[in-house]
Every structure is written in structure tokens, then in C-alpha cells.
Structure 1
Amino acid sequence: MTLRNLSYSLLISLFAFGVEIAVSLAADAPKDNKGYTTSKTTVVELGPEFPGMEGRQLRLRLLTIEPGGHIGLHDHKERPAVVYFLQGNDTVIRDDGTSQTFKAGDVTGEPGTTIHWHRNDGKDAVIFVTADIFKPKN
């Protein structure tokens, strides 16, 4: 085997191993919600506002995750969002196994490619405001 073929084989093996780990991590993520509530939802129908947006809403919500709680694995396909954190420390775990902890004052965007889950490991409730473009199921 040439050095070039060996390099290709190693690269393919590493890629396959990485995909296997990501799939495994996503499989281990909770699918349910625990200690999670949504309140103060406000909705604006976008169809009358913009051509091509029929059936879509601009939605603003206040979400709370109690200590020890979580929001299970979900995606943002066709539901981009922006989030502003008001209280607590929210650990967000992505489907690729990476994670990031957000605290009060942090802001993040979640494009349609986002697949993740939220976990509150702290002693205080995590509270955040999220605005998203949403299409209710009929």
C-alpha cells in the first residue's frame, strides 16, 4: 500500500469514526422535556405582512428550565430562532457532541441546520426569551 493510499484510508476511517461518535451522542440525548415550561407566547401571522410567508408566524416566547431539567433533542429545520438569556446557566449540547454554556446577557442564533438539546446543571432556573419563525402543523 502506498503512502497516499494509507493516508486516504486513515482519513476515511477517522471520518467514519467521527460520524459514529456524533450519531451515538445524538442517540444518548434525551428526547423528552423535564422541568421545562413555556409562558407568555406572542404570535404575529406573517402571511398578511409578507408575500410567500403564508402559514408562518413570528413567535416570541419566555422559556424556563428548572434546575436538573432539560429540553430534549430537537432541530430548527424551517424554524430559525434567536435567543436572549435572562437567568441561569444553560448548557446546549449539539448533535456533533460539542457544547456551549450560556449565561444571563448572552445571545445566540439557531439557523435551520441546528440540532441540539438544553440542560440546566445549575441551582437557579434557566430563563430565556426566544423569537422564531414558526409554521404550525395543521
Structure 2
Amino acid sequence: MSEPAAPQTKGVEVQLLGTVDLGPELPGMEGRQLRMRMVTIEPGGVFGPVHDHRGRPGTVYVLQGAITDHRDGVATDYGPGLGWPEDHTTLHWLENRGSVPAVEISVDIVASD
């Protein structure tokens, strides 16, 4: 069975929780920051389209509900207390197939604004 095409983002709210400028903290990290966000995906919501994490490594932890991570033709469900890494090989999209909002905490390293 083939993986469905990733629809555009819908039903997603992203709240920035905090950032740390990594330049003064670690040699070679000038222009980069550690970022923490809370992402809420409503039932039927999608965090898409397909996107990668090259130059933006991170990790995700699910607080509430369930999130389906679509990558490499495989759909994997993550519920509360579980999460996944996002590295240079990650190419994916996310959806909430459940009946309650799914809430995740996402921490990643990004270019400073």
C-alpha cells in the first residue's frame, strides 16, 4: 500500500516557548539558536507538506493525544510519553488521526533570525 501524498498544513498552532543564542555558549555555533516550541495539531490536522531537517536537528516529545509520523513510506503513531528524533536524514510529515488535540514539545537547533 502506498503512502498518501502529504497535504498542506492545516489545524496546527505553534507557540514559541523559548530560545537560547548558542553563539556565546559553544564555539562554532555563531548564528544558531536552541529553540523550544509547543505544537498543537487538531483532530484531522496536518503538519506538512513533506519537509526535511537538514541543518535543523531536533527531538520531539508528545504530551497529549497521538501524532502519526509519515516517513520512508511508513506511518508510525506516537502517543503521550513517546517521541522521535529529527536529523539530517529525516524527511516526513505529521498528522493527527485521533479525536482529541495532539500536543508535542519540539526542541531543535535553527539559524538565528
* TM-score above 0.5: yes
Q: Distance in 2 between matches of 1:54 and 1:127?
A: 31
Among 15, 22, 30, the alignment partner of 1:54 is 30
- Equivalent residue for 1:5? none
Question: Aligned partner of 2:109: which letter?
Answer: I
Q: What is the percentage of aligned positions where both structures have the same residue?
A: 45
2:58 equivalent to 1:81: yes
Q: Which runs of 5+ in 2 are unaligned?
A: none
Give runs of ≥4 in structure 1 deviating > 3 Å. none
User: CA RMSD of the aligned region, Å?
Assistant: 1.6
Among 73, 83, 96, the alignment partner of 1:107 is 83
Q: Distance in 2 between matches of 1:91 and 1:56?
A: 29
For the residue of structure 2 that corresponds to 1:60, the secondary structure is strand
Question: Aligned partner of 2:65: which letter?
Answer: G
* Bigger Rg, which one: 1
- Equivalent residue for 1:67? 43
Q: Which structure exhibits the higher relative contact order, with contacts defined as CA atoms closer than 8 Å and separated by 6 or more residues?
A: 2
Q: Which has the larger helix fraction?
A: 1
Q: Which runs of 5+ in 1 are unaligned?
A: 1-20
Q: Which has the larger strand fraction?
A: 2
Q: Distance in 2 between matches of 1:115 and 1:128?
A: 18
How many pairs align?
111
**Structure-2-length-normalised TM-score:** 0.91
Deviation, 1:83, is: 0.9
